[in-house]
Chain A
């Protein structure tokens, strides 16, 4: 089996059928780009979950001077109340740690995370709070039940609930991307299959003679399979370029600076996604070509 012979047949085949080859490359590129985007979104979600769930706490916001809530009718929280609340919090068996954040500290943190908005805010606008780390984050209700509505407590907030909403939105986006990717991959499979049919028909004279002369079935099919795989790899290359572009521009230049308080996918995720994209390209094209050749190339 001579590599040069096969490669020259592949080259001839690709050029002869140039229009359809280009169609395959583009279709594969789009479908794999969506596939890659879906994978990257999943990486992103996992990154953020890891980053955030670590830091997540139950926040017990204490009454400030302006609070409108019923339990704050008596005005800002007193030292007595504060001490009592802290003691009670620490006594709960579900509680792992309790941190106190003063209004000034809250203001410092706010300035750090959202610098542009911090200009319009003063320390007094932000409430004091106890940040509670639970041994089991699902036991939020225990804390809420004990402290919600208690005089001096403005609100008990489970940050995880906030994050869950956010993650659900991201997950929906990821599922959407993967659905579109799935549809595009079906399109790519059909297109590759059709391209091979046409190629097999156009080259029936050559393949007939090849069979007559005693070329092995594998050798007869190989140029067709290679043509599809090469076209698909071209598409994978384009898709990878697109993903790199997204990482370099959208993520690194636009999203990350706007949201400094969370982490974003790193380059290692991008490389891993690119590897998956190439594997998918080879898998799709080989599968489509083998199945089509069995049907349309008499061997």
Chain B
């Protein structure tokens, strides 16, 4: 599903590489936490998976494709198979919940009748039935993140990337979000989640990949957040 082969990434303005010879393999259906301090390279990893950045050295393979060989115009097709959830939700403020989720389908050209059928289903799944016509500013943080997850999942992607999805949420809400991601993972979607949230990592006991200064220091199935906090 995802494979990093000795991947290094050095941003142009910095001396220390963001990632240093990272080797990582994630299989279909796994749930992986990417943990580490700020600046350890978690977000860089996710950006490489999304082909928002290209590695300075090494190759990244996602969904069986070598990203360095992928031509620019094929990148959108790749991204349609990856759902993304971010810390800041990234919803469109002038559109309703329904329209925000439908957006992901409209831009790839799905017909209106499909959208009308699929969007309510996924909103049900995330627990937002009845709130279709609300705007993002009328929702709580947890609800907004659920909309974002709905949008990420509406296309039934094979891979879901989450960059600190619980970063702006309180502990109780975070648990709700994690339950949702777990449910999504059980339908077969691979989930890779970068996080600082130690409590959640400890509670869920999934595979933990720890980065420190761009280096992989720990790769543990059923791991905890870490001993050095």
Within 8 A of B (CB), among A180-221: 205-206, 208-217, 219
Contact A206 B104, CB 8 Å, known A1-B109, A211-B76 = no
Q: How many residues of B contact A (CB 8 A)?
A: 23
Contact present for B79 and A214 (CB under 8 Å) = yes
For residue B222, CB closer than 8 A to chain A, the reply is no
CA distance A215 to B104 in the complex (A): 8
Q: Across the interface, which residues of B come within 8 angstroms of A205, CB to CB?
A: 90, 92-93
CA distance A132 to B47 in the complex (A): 86
For residue B80, CB closer than 8 A to chain A, the reply is yes
Checking B79, B92, B111, B151 against A211 with a beta-carbon cut-off of 8 angstroms, the contacting residue is B79
CA distance A2 to B109 in the complex (A): 5
A162-194 interface code vs B (CB 8 A; 1 in, 0 out): 000000000000000000000000000000000
Within 8 A of B (CB), among A1-56: 1-2, 4-5
Within 8 A of A (CB), among B65-107: 72-73, 76-82, 84, 90, 92-93, 103-104, 106-107
Question: How far is the CB of A240 from the nearest CB of chain B, in Å?
Answer: 35
Within 8 A of A (CB), among B103-119: 103-104, 106-109, 111-112
Contact present for A206 and B80 (CB under 8 Å) = no
Subset of 8 A-B contacts with CB under 8 Å = A212-B50, A212-B90, A214-B77, A214-B78, A214-B81, A215-B76, A216-B76, A216-B77
Contact present for A2 and B111 (CB under 8 Å) = yes
Contact A213 B108, CB 8 Å, known A205-B92, A206-B92 = yes
Checking A209, A213, A217 against B80 with a beta-carbon cut-off of 8 angstroms, the contacting residue is A213
Contact A212 B84, CB 8 Å, known A205-B92, A206-B92, A217-B76 = yes
Interface residue tally on A, bucketed by range: 10 to 19
Q: Across the interface, which residues of A come within 8 angstroms of B107, CB to CB?
A: 5, 210, 213-215, 219
CA distance A41 to B151 in the complex (A): 59
Question: How far is the CB of B34 from the nearest CB of chain A, in Å?
Answer: 19
Q: Across the interface, which residues of B come within 8 angstroms of A212, CB to CB?
A: 50, 79, 84, 90
Question: How far is the CB of A139 from the nearest CB of chain B, in Å?
Answer: 65
Q: Across the interface, which residues of A come within 8 angstroms of B106, CB to CB?
A: 2, 5
Contact present for A213 and B73 (CB under 8 Å) = no
Question: How far is the CB of B50 from the nearest CB of chain A, in Å?
Answer: 8
Closest to B100 in A: A209
CA distance A195 to B60 in the complex (A): 39
Q: Across the interface, which residues of A come within 8 angstroms of B50, CB to CB?
A: 212
B108-139 interface code vs A (CB 8 A; 1 in, 0 out): 11011000000000000000000000000000
Contact present for A217 and B92 (CB under 8 Å) = no
Q: Across the interface, which residues of A come within 8 angstroms of B79, CB to CB?
A: 211-214
Q: Across the interface, which residues of A come within 8 angstroms of B92, CB to CB?
A: 205-206, 209
CA distance A212 to B73 in the complex (A): 14
Closest to B105 in A: A213
Closest to B95 in A: A206
Closest to B157 in A: A214
Question: How far is the CB of B117 from the nearest CB of chain A, in Å?
Answer: 16
CA distance A214 to B82 in the complex (A): 9
Closest to A299 in B: B72
Question: How far is the CB of B49 from the nearest CB of chain A, in Å?
Answer: 12
CA distance A190 to B10 in the complex (A): 37
